[in-house]
Structure formats: structure tokens, C-alpha cells
Amino acid sequence: MPRVTILCAAHAAAPPDETINGVRYVRRGTKMTVYREGVSALLRRDFGHVDVVVDIQNGLPFFTRAATRKPVVVLVHHVHREQWPVVYPGVTGRIGWWIEHSLAPRLYRTCQYVAVSRATRNELQQLGVDRERIAVVHNGTDPVIPVGIGKSAHPMIAVVGRPVPHKQVEHAIDAVLALRAEHPDVRLHVVGSGWWEAELHEYAAARGAGDTVVFEGQVDERRKHEVYEQSWILALPSLKEGWGPGDRRSRHASHPGRGLPLGRWHEGVDRARPVRCPGRRRDRVHRDARSADQRPHGA
């Protein structure tokens, strides 16, 4: 019998129920209705005997504290104060932020929290969560797959992650298009799948990006590491990250990471060569790309 059950939203790339290496995966609902599916499944005891529940609060909690008397651990990557008005402008975003900063801390007031960075712990404290109930557990990184492909012969910038509004891939597109006059062969590779993909394709097309912007979509692990290895710069234009897996990828790939102020960047790039952007000005990204162009490949 599986000892770990993971509930997440349904998607076309996997069946609704699956067990892999002893872990049971239950996929139900959409990115919004999955919350209702999760709490309903707990109430119906669909998961069988439960010892502990890990409630992943990605902006919204799953409200599991109201559905079970078992211990609940709340896992938080970061607080979404900045994301709510970007992803859900207007009333919807204000309601979401109220749930996150006011209702959730009250609902989970006796629960243990796990934050993936010290910066997230500080944010949770600002919401009223007691410091002694917050453990900091940094995320890990999968081992690097050596592909031996080397740096691209032409200037190459990569953005790796889910294409969603607050990742601000548009900033990277604008930056690489501004570089095109000076570097006609520059390329931006966007790797990952998400619900904002169509909008990004339209954004690039409307600006005449052509083959300057390459949308790779969802790729396998080998191709992902090929992109890391080929890239001269790994761009991290996200509005905010809880830990920023791309930070650590930058370190593993041995090339600079260019990012906006994520709040917890310094915790993920201890041994990398981060090039932080203290604002949203795209010209800073342009200068970094020009600087990378002047370095020998593999430097």
C-alpha cells in the first residue's frame, strides 16, 4: 500500500490515478478547482488512513485544517503579495490576498510551517505566523546531467520555467530583441510549459521576433541540460520566487544568472555568478548580454 499520496490538478500528460515508486498520485480538477477536490477528498476519507497532511500554500491554502484533525504541515515557497494584482487584477486578486495574509494565518494558527528560504520565513512572520513554528528547509536540486555539448557558437540566452504572467518572460523577449541590431544571431530559448504560453507566442509575434525567440515547450531532462550548457546567460525575469530553482541551475551550468530582485536570490546562488538587477530596466540585461559576448566561450 502506498504510504505517500500526492494530490494535484489534472493534466493531459498523465492519468488521473497513478502509483510510481510507491507514491500514489491523484490528479483532480483544474488549477483552481483542485483546492475543492483536495478538501472534499479528505472529508470523504478517499485517501484512507492519514497520519499527517502537507498543505502546500501556493497563494491559496487547501483549507485542510478545516477537513481533518490530523497534524497539518503548511509548506510555503513564498508569499504572493506582488503576484495577486498581476495574475488576478481587481476584486479576485484582493480576495486572494486577503485569504493568504489574513484568513490562512488564523486557520493554521496552531500548525507547523515549512518555508523554503529565510526570506519566506520573514514574510510569514510579517503575516503573523510565529517564528518558532516556521522551519526553513531549502529545496534541493537534481544532479546535473553532463551532455558535453558546450556553449553555443552564437549568443544564447535561456529562460527555463513555467510560462505564467508573473514569470515576466516578456522582459527577456524585449531584452533580446533590443540586442538583435548589434547581435543579429542572438537567440532566446524559452523552455517550459504553462497556461500563459499562447500569450507569449502572440507577444513575440507582434514584435516581429521571428526565429530570434525559440519556444521549446516541455522538454526532457537531457534537452533541458543541453539548453543550460549551451546558454551564455540564464535569465530570471520572474517577479518573485520562493527559492528560484533557476538560481541553482545557473551555478551548475557555470554561467551568469540575470534576475530581478527575488528577495531570496542570495540563498540560492552562494557559489554562482549572479548578476542581479535592482530594478526592471531591460537595459541592464542588455549590458550583461554584451558583457557575456566579450568573454571567451566557456569562460
Q: What is the spatial distance between Cα 127 and Cα 100, in angstroms, rounded to a whole number?
A: 9
Q: Which three cell numbers stand for residue 164?
A: 505564467
Provide the residue type at 227 as one letter.
V
Query: Which residues are 156's β-sheet partners?
Result: 187
| Strands across the sheet containing 53-56 | 53-56, 72-76, 112-115, 134-136
Query: Which residues are 113's β-sheet partners?
Result: 74, 134
> Within its chain, how far is the Cα of 285 from the centroid?
20
Domains and CATH numbers, the chain: 4-136 (3.40.50.2000), 156-294 (3.40.50.2000)
**What pLDDT sits at residue 243?**
58
Angle 225-227-228 from CA coordinates, rounded to 5°: 60
Query: Which residues are 172's β-sheet partners?
Result: none
**What pLDDT sits at residue 255?**
54
Using DSSP bridges, classify how beta strands 233-236 and 134-136 pair: parallel, antiparallel or unpaired. Answer: unpaired
Q: Which three cell numbers stand for residue 81?
A: 503579495
**What pLDDT sits at residue 39?**
95
Quickly list DSSP for 89-125.
TTHHHHHHHHIIIIIHHHHTTTSEEEESSHHHHHHHH
Q: Which pLDDT tens digit goes with each residue over 230-286?
A: 999 999 888 776 655 554 454 455 555 454 444 444 555 544 444 444 444 445 444
Around 212, how many Cα atoms within 13 Å sit in the side-chain half-sphere? Answer: 22
**What pLDDT sits at residue 267?**
56
Residue (of 125, 124, 209, 221) closest to 169 by Cα position: 209
3-state secondary structure of 7: strand
Maximum distance among all alpha carbons in the chain?
62
- The pLDDT averaged over each successive group of 10 residues in the chain (299 residues) is 87 93 94 94 93 96 95 96 90 96 97 95 96 93 82 93 89 94 95 92 96 95 92 86 54 50 49 45 49 47
pTM metric for this prediction = 0.74
Q: What is the spatial distance between Cα 133 and Cα 73, in angstroms, rounded to a whole number?
A: 10
**What pLDDT sits at residue 180?**
93
Q: Which three cell numbers stand for residue 148?
A: 558535453
Angle 14-223-15 from CA coordinates, rounded to 5°: 5
Gyration radius of the chain's alpha carbons: 21
